[in-house]
A and B are shown apart, each in its own frame.
Chain A
């Protein structure tokens, strides 16, 4: 595998001014303005390989958007190096973005008063896509995303989900090698999200398109991404496989037991009963202290067990643990 993006020691400092509350302080700040320097990125480095779907995770203000913007060529970083698809985004912008697709979840990218199909045709000319290529790609995507009818209604009359799908189509028409999705599923319902994810997976498989996704939706990450990068306070705190972080960080497992006949209250060291009623017990096991096997044995010998389910805690829990830990390091 060859890496398609290399980021080295990327830093970005924003200059903002601060003042205390009230009118008098507002007037004072006219003459004596105090500036504050906010380090949005404190020197991050990472690499991304071709054909990957990478999840970019972090709390609000962690530096996700700034990273995406630097990767898109939207802003000049304070220092550091980015080579993406062989280009420096903010220097070779035009050549670079010809191979790039960007979907900004919170921003308008379609012509509000026109049917989406008009925006698609504009994209065709802006990117200089050949008519035949354009037609076949458009048909392929429109069919998959169920847009045949919708794309002929003005964008302003579309639902949020329809609009988001159309934005995705507009960003993919020129068959970009790299696609940056900044909170693409914001505001979508469950069904729309599902379609969206399936579509991204399919495009990734069919065209070897590399995707970088920022999102707060951990299900999305679990469904789409093998690799994740976690960023907090402008620093990367984890860069690796999703399953590795689970392994590394998982000290707990959940055991759900269903009983044939009523059972006594469950009690065992290093186990926490999360919930228990007559026919069900839910236990959280600290696997660093006690083996799951031991717990199961205890359960089997003490109860008339009908069914057992062992599961990992959801990825949300792990991420929360990371963000809450003091240094934020994994």
Chain B
């Protein structure tokens, strides 16, 4: 069962790569754009920390660590679950029929059936950053935390995408929720205090995507580590539950396509 799903995932990755090769100029430009985007961000923080040295205990190294985690989890989820931000569109336009007609887990199938290989730009960038700031000793912890972040990002995407089941045209809303969460996650956790911090560790799980992992890598704390893992399990369960709840309301659609 699991092996079979992995095999299908692998085949889809191959198909996606062949598709990317169909438009190779576009592919190269997108990868470069991603890297450029990341470089600009780094330059910003280099200038910032050159002037202020630290933000609530966070120094440049911590910021680079945060960015290593974000780019890796964003990039990995783009490559392996490339449809994560298109759930709302797929539901809203009745394209879910295609997946429902095939004997695979619907949510899994939707997520993997597309792959954004330009996410590789982010992945490579993240790996380089990790090489710079990470000690070999914390490598395994780093990998676990990257996987945790990836799962949370995916869960946020599933949750926001599932809105389309309940509210119809939710494509823009869903995208904004995802990107909003992501941008909240790209600042040091220490800038958030009190209620804001609490919200970022619960309703909007931006804190668990990047802030908490960085704190854990700075100084390990078993309690926060297990809290993170627990949170991953919780939010992923909720996301899947909401998706399948929504699926019961799915009414397909008769949108006419030129593509058949």
What 1/0 flags go to A90-114 for Cβ under 8 Å of B? Answer: 0001110110101011111101111
For A105, the chain B residues whose CB sits under 8 A away are: 260
For A104, the chain B residues whose CB sits under 8 A away are: 97-98, 101
B252: which of A74, A97, A108, A114 is its contact (CB, 8 Å)?
A74
* B43 close to chain A: CB less than 8 A: no
* A122 close to chain B: CB less than 8 A: yes
Q: Are B257 and A98 in contact (CB under 8 A)?
A: no
Q: Which of A123-131, A241-249, A268-276 contacts B (4 or more CB under 8 A)?
A: A123-131
Shortest beta-carbon distance, B237 to chain A, in Å? 20
Q: Are B22 and A107 in contact (CB under 8 A)?
A: no
For A111, the chain B residues whose CB sits under 8 A away are: 15, 19
For A122, the chain B residues whose CB sits under 8 A away are: 8, 11-12, 15
* A14 close to chain B: CB less than 8 A: yes
Given contacts A76-B248, A107-B95, contact A160 B260 (CB under 8 A): yes
Q: Are B18 and A114 in contact (CB under 8 A)?
A: yes
For A76, the chain B residues whose CB sits under 8 A away are: 248-250
Q: A108-B259, A111-B15, A126-B104 are in contact. List 16 more A-B contacts (CB 8 A).
A: A14-B251, A72-B97, A74-B100, A75-B250, A75-B252, A98-B103, A104-B98, A105-B260, A108-B98, A108-B260, A109-B98, A109-B260, A112-B259, A114-B15, A122-B12, A128-B4
Given contacts A100-B101, A106-B260, A107-B257, contact A113 B22 (CB under 8 A): yes
Secondary structure type dominating chain A contacts: mixed
What are 28 A-B pairs with beta-carbon distances under 8 A? Answer: A65-B254, A72-B97, A72-B100, A72-B101, A74-B96, A74-B252, A75-B252, A76-B248, A76-B249, A97-B100, A97-B101, A100-B101, A102-B97, A102-B101, A104-B97, A106-B256, A106-B257, A107-B94, A107-B260, A121-B11, A122-B8, A122-B12, A125-B8, A126-B102, A127-B103, A128-B4, A163-B260, A164-B260
Chain B residue nearest to A123 (CB atoms) is B102
Chain B residue nearest to A101 (CB atoms) is B101
Shortest beta-carbon distance, B204 to chain A, in Å? 26
Q: Which residues of B contact A (CB under 8 A)?
A: 4, 7-8, 11-12, 15, 18-19, 22-23, 94-98, 100-106, 248-252, 254, 256-257, 259-260
Q: Are B103 and A95 in contact (CB under 8 A)?
A: yes
Shortest beta-carbon distance, B12 to chain A, in Å? 7
Q: Which residues of A contact B (CB under 8 A)?
A: 14, 65, 69, 72-76, 93-95, 97-98, 100, 102, 104-109, 111-114, 118, 121-122, 125-128, 154, 160, 163-164, 167, 187
Shortest beta-carbon distance, A168 to chain B, in Å? 12
A114: which of B8, B22, B97 is its contact (CB, 8 Å)?
B22
Given contacts A75-B252, A114-B19, contact A107 B97 (CB under 8 A): yes
Q: Are B15 and A118 in contact (CB under 8 A)?
A: yes
For B105, the chain A residues whose CB sits under 8 A away are: 94
Once bound together, how far apart are the Cα atoms of A76 and B244, in whole Å? 12
Chain B residue nearest to A155 (CB atoms) is B259
Once bound together, how far apart are the Cα atoms of A39 and B102, in whole Å? 28
Once bound together, how far apart are the Cα atoms of A102 and B252, in whole Å? 14
